Structure 1
Amino acid sequence: MKKIMILTMALSFFAVSAQTKKENKVSEEKTNHKKEAKMKKRILIIVSNANTIGPNNRRTGSFLPEVAHPYAEFDRANYQIDFASLTGDTPYLDALNLAGDPDNLAFLTGKGWETMQKAVKLSNVDVSTYDAVFVPGGLAPMVDMPENALLKKVIKETYERNAVVGAVCHGPVSLLNVKLSDGSYLVNGKNITSFTDEEEKGYAIADVPFLLESALTKQGAKFHAAAVWSAHSIADGNLVTGQNPASAKGVAEKMIAILEAPKK
């Protein structure tokens, strides 16, 4: 009888011990999942709401690969990707003829375009909760981004809290007229690029209100131009810019490299 009692007690002990270990493991897994969720980087893509530009009302929007290629890179990095637009209205896409590209097609048929169509009005977004903001090009930003006061404030504050600011092609117009807390232009003394004057003269010179390269240079930017339509992106601190559609992937890759770099 005594042996039976001892055996029963031993079995009970091991059962409780096993259950405790299981509960501890579940608790640890939940904690790890919470940590992973907390650590997940957040990217805000800010898009234009314009759909025409110039005296002839040329149709425009955000240039498809300049949204889709960075989106694909951020998605592969397992980042949370949200969209905001200046007015909160449904944004437009340009260059849909490039839908055959794998990343472009994945964006259009997957979650990307669906999410972009529901872009939140920028004034309703707490941008301080994001690790980076990214502004794609297309001709559209040349319409509603050169002087948008809220956008300039968002870019300034994002840059000054050392979050990452990225833009490609005509997207760097978002950097134009941004003044930092010391009164200097954000682009002053920075190594940057954008759609070049040479590229514009062969593309939309009759439609744009000004030449972006010239405007950025006038505010003190150290402008770097590569061969027309070639992939070219630059990182200067936490500021990343790209020259044209072919540069969009490179901009995202450089942004990710900065975000993943060990904190000093």
Structure 2
Amino acid sequence: MKKILMVLTSVSEIGDTGEATGYNVAEAAHPWKVFKDSGHFVDFASIQGGQPPRDTVDTEDPIQVAFTEDETTRAGLYNTARVDVIDPSQYDAVYLVGGHGTMWDFPDSEGLQNIVANVYNTGGVVGAVCHGPAGLVNVELDNGFRLVEGRRVAAFTNDEEVAAEKDKIIPFFLADRLEEQGATHVPADNWAENVVVDERLVTGQNPASAAGVAKEMEKLLAEAIHQEKAEESDEADAVRAEKDAEKAAKKAAEAHPEH
């Protein structure tokens, strides 16, 4: 079992439009189910802490309903930890949930940047979907490179922003900003599922890509578990071989005692 941190926006309004927003429930619920079904432990955090705002719940989506009614999840979302106080070493993966609000509070959050960088630097998995990749902006690794530099990524596209009529409201186009920081943005058709994996960075284009991002993250986590078990087995074999050698040496000494 691995520990995964899901990070949510604390912004409840799209710019100064008065239009309510928050984290996208589908983009939280579907990955939550993938992680939960795989036996992993999921924690929640938000930029400001407390109870994060959320977008509308689709009551016809049983996974969203289950997510909002799960007692453990409700307790975790009731008072999320602030990203600034999170210890990244406690987590094997971090997943950045989308929602338009992330465009305002993810990019400049040093606490979030610290979590993402530390998880990746220590061999963990980083995932983000839709507007969640706004939290990858400005993340620098120990090697001095930006996390997205030289990497293929997916995120909400410029065309989707226009189709959603948010292109005149958002502070920047996410796809453009990622490319400005050295990434290669890989778009698909509007609203089509699109998941891109580049080493231990997994990104998705839109809500339809959320479950796919989680599934690819799960594959990487499963590989890590398999490797850890193999290493543990090798260590156990080495200890067993050492003990067998000691027993053999002792038996030989007993059979040929010195006079």
TM-score by length of 1: 0.82
> How far apart are 1:99 and its partner, in Å?
2.4
Runs of 4+ in 1 over 4 A off after TM superposition: none
Contact 1:58 1:207 in 2 (8 A): no
| Structure 2: stretches of 5+ with no match in the other structure | 229-259
Contact 2:87 2:115 in 1 (8 A): no
Distance 2:59 2:153 in 1: 29
Distance 1:57 1:208 in 2: 13
Equivalent residue number for residue 100 of structure 1? 60
Contact 1:189 1:222 in 2 (8 A): yes
User: What are the Cα deviations for residues 234-263 of structure 1, in whole angstroms up to 9, with x where unaligned?
Assistant: 111111000000000000000000000132
| More displaced stretch, 58-67 vs 107-116 | 107-116
Equivalent residue number for residue 214 of structure 2? 252
Equivalent residues in 2 for 1:1-264, closer than 5 Å: 40-96=1-57, 98-111=58-71, 112-203=73-164, 204-261=166-223, 262-263=226-227
Distance 2:193 2:74 in 1: 24
Larger Rg: 1
SS for the counterpart of 1:150 is helix
In structure 2, give the amino acid aligned to 1:226: A
In structure 2, give the amino acid aligned to 1:100: E
Contact 2:9 2:46 in 1 (8 A): yes
Contact 2:88 2:115 in 1 (8 A): yes
In structure 1, give the amino acid aligned to 2:111: L
Distance 1:235 1:191 in 2: 8
TM-score by length of 2: 0.83
| Structure 1: stretches of 5+ with no match in the other structure | 1-39
Contact 2:84 2:112 in 1 (8 A): no
Size of the aligned set, in residue pairs, is: 224
